């Protein structure tokens, strides 16, 4: 099949949304599909890192040449970029004649829907790939209040009903969309993990030495967006609470944007207890995590997003501290260290409990085995089956009409 992926974001950047777009596309390519990704004018060239892929990344024109934002979060200029992306997707759909438009995020779904309707005679199928709640995501970044929030909530509900089929990255997201879609066509397609990338020849000790990490301390890692809606505020306060009691810990952050972590470290004089790697190259992630002894995911359930980072944690054989969420239990299968309350104190208590647990390393080994249950290949096969079901339905309609 020819698949046209709509990515209304500066693809590729080293963060969760982009990892899902990339890995889903790679998995579909391995199944024999021809994949084109339409995206913004900024972002890394994936061919620099993956020389085996033939995925065709098409970018909008650089009319907004000053726009270089790579981190997550709303920006009014994205409205202009998305209008330009509509034109790009329309031209690609007109010339390439895709079987399926796969729209990521609510903006990508809306763009895909507009193009699908504009080229209605082509009978292109539209799959909506929701990564979380649009409104909750914007609120978590400090946008939308009062009447504007209600308007965006209304728009989100309309977009949630678009597409011939919807997929979400989390069970929480699926339940939310199910309440809105009248056709019931929604399914959870979990994030996966590239297990092969963790078959690394270097030992933990070698990597810690290369990164100049203290050999006599517990290394506690966090990777991902360094913004409020990822829960780093909980983690910052938890770090201060933990350091009041013990000094044999060292916190390793990997991600971007770096400003909040840099302010936190400078304000509290934590240069001897916190290291920031920003940006963290996605393709260096396995080494980064191998250097850690424990990982933390402080994201709460506010925006109905999955935690793809957790799959990388467990693939690296790390024990994990997190909040109580259905998806977290699904990934960790009961072997996580769960905070009993969504707060900095709850997170700090769970981290301390993990550090004091004699079974800490054993839980990490169990997690590594659990990671084998999740792969991007499995997610790709699930999406492939959804595509085929949609296209078979389309073909059966044509047969009935001809009869």
How many helices and strands, by DSSP H and E, does the chain display?
15, 13
Q: Could you tell me the pLDDT band of residue 402, with boundaries at 50, 70 and 90?
A: very low
* pLDDT(298) > 60: yes
Every domain of the chain and the residues it spans: 2-192+376-402, 195-373
Average pLDDT over residues 293-304: 82
Whole-angstrom CA distances from 235 to 223, 226, 328, 367 are 12, 11, 17, 22
* Residue 59, helix vs strand vs coil: strand
* pLDDT(16) > 90: no
pLDDT tens readout for residues 53-94: 999 999 999 999 999 988 777 788 999 999 999 999 999 999
Same fold yes or no, 2-192+376-402 and 195-373: yes
Question: Which fold is adopted by the domain 2-192+376-402?
Answer: Rossmann fold (3.40.50)
Q: Could you tell me the pLDDT band of residue 395, with boundaries at 50, 70 and 90?
A: low
Q: Please state the pTM of the whole predicted model.
A: 0.87
Of residues 395 and 156, more confidence is placed in 156
Question: Which fold is adopted by the domain 195-373?
Answer: Rossmann fold (3.40.50)
* pLDDT(38) > 90: yes
Rounded CA-CA distance 197/260 in Å is 30
The pLDDT score that the predictor gives to residue 66 is 92
pLDDT tens readout for residues 111-154: 999 999 999 999 999 999 999 888 877 776 667 667 888 898 99
105: left (phi over 0), alpha (psi -120 to 50) or beta: left
């Amino acid at each position: 099949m020819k698949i046209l992926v709509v990515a209304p974001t500066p693809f590729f950047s080293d963060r969760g949304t982009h990892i899902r777009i990339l890995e889903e596309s790679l998995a579909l390519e391995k199944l024999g599909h021809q994949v084109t990704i339409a995206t913004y004018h900024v972002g890394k060239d994936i061919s620099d890192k993956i020389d085996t892929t033939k995925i065709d990344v098409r970018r909008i024109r650089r009319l907004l040449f000053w726009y270089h934002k790579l981190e997550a979060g709303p920006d009014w200029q994205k409205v202009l970029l998305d209008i330009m992306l509509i034109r790009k997707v329309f031209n690609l759909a007109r010339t390439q004649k895709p079987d399926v438009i796969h729209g990521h995020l609510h903006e990508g779904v809306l763009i895909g829907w507009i193009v699908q309707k504009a080229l209605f005679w082509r009978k292109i199928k539209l799959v909506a790939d929701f990564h979380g709640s649009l409104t909750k995501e914007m609120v978590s970044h400090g946008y939308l209040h009062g009447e504007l929030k209600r308007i965006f909530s209304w728009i989100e509900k309309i977009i949630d009903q678009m597409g011939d089929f919807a997929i979400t990255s989390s069970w929480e997201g699926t339940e939310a969309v199910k309440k809105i879609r009248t056709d019931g066509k929604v399914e959870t397609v979990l994030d996966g993990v590239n297990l092969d990338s963790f078959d690394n020849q270097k030992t933990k000790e070698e990597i810690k030495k290369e990164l100049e990490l203290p050999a006599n301390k517990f290394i506690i890692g966090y990777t991902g967006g360094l913004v409020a809606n990822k829960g780093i505020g909980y983690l910052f306060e938890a770090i201060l609470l933990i350091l009041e009691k013990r000094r044999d810990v060292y916190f390793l952050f990997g991600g971007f944007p770096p400003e909040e972590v840099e302010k936190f470290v400078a304000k509290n004089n934590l240069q001897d207890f916190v290291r920031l790697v920003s940006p963290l190259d996605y393709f260096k992630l396995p080494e980064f995590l191998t250097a850690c002894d424990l990982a933390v995911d402080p994201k709460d359930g506010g925006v109905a997003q999955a935690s793809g980072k957790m799959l990388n944690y467990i693939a690296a054989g790390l024990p994990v501290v997190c909040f109580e969420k259905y998806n977290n239990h699904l990934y960790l299968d009961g072997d996580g260290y769960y905070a009993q309350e969504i707060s900095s104190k709850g997170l700090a208590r769970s981290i301390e409990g993990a550090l004091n647990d004699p079974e800490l390393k054993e839980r990490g080994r169990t997690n590594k085995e659990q990671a084998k249950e999740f792969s991007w290949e499995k997610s790709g096969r699930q999406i492939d089956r959804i595509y085929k079901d949609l296209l078979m339905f389309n073909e059966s309609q044509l047969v009935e009409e001809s009869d």
